[in-house]
Every structure is written in C-alpha cells, then in structure tokens.
Amino acid sequence: MANKRPKPAEIVTKLRQVEVLTGQGMPRLDAIRQIGVTEQTYYRWKKKYGGMGADQLKELKRLQKENERLRKAVSDLTLDKL
C-alpha cells in the first residue's frame, strides 16, 4: 500500500515544526526524523514551500488552478485552429 502524499498545508506545518524544534536546541537531523520524512524530502519541501504562510499557500493554489485552466483553453484553441 502506498503512502499518502501530504497536502501543501501539512507540508508547511511540518516545516514550521522543524524550525521550532531546532530553535529549542534539537539537532536538525533529529527534528527532520521526528516529523517522519527523509532529509532529502525535507530539503525539497523547504526549497518549494519554505517561508510560506497560509495566505501565500492559498494564492499559489489559486494561481496553479488558473494556469491549468489557461493551458487547457490554449490547447483547445490550438486544436480548433488545426
């Protein structure tokens, strides 16, 4: 059975949890293990979602939906043109 992928809001929460634990003096690797992800996954998440708040996350999701809608419209118009 495959593991479920965390939602972006859950990822931001886990990143914040690592920041809190390292601020309390826990080594970063131990904090990463405590949230239940690998070091590679943590750094990938940090690169993509690091520093985001809830508002920025909602805006990102809205922009991704709009981008998907626009791509579909362009592809439909291209097919019509052909």
Percent of the chain, pLDDT > 70?
98
Three-class SS of 19-56 = HHHHHCCCCHHHHHHHHCCCHHHHHHHHHHHCCCCHHH
Q: Give the pLDDT confidence of 42-78 residue by residue, as tens digits.
A: 999 999 888 777 788 888 889 999 999 999 999 888 8
Kindly state whether residue 1 falls inside one of the protein's structural domains: no
Does position 1 have pLDDT exceeding 60, yes or no? Answer: no
From the CB of residue 70, how many other CB atoms can be counted at a distance below 10 Å? 10
Q: Average model confidence (pLDDT) for the chain?
A: 88
What domain range includes position 75?
8-80
Kindly state whether residue 46 falls inside one of the protein's structural domains: yes
Res. 35 pLDDT band, cuts 50 70 90: very high
Count the domains in the chain. Answer: 1
Per the CB < 8 A criterion, the answer to whether 31 and 18 are in contact is yes
Percent of the chain, pLDDT > 90?
56
Q: In whole angstroms, give the CA distance from residue 62 to residue 59.
A: 5
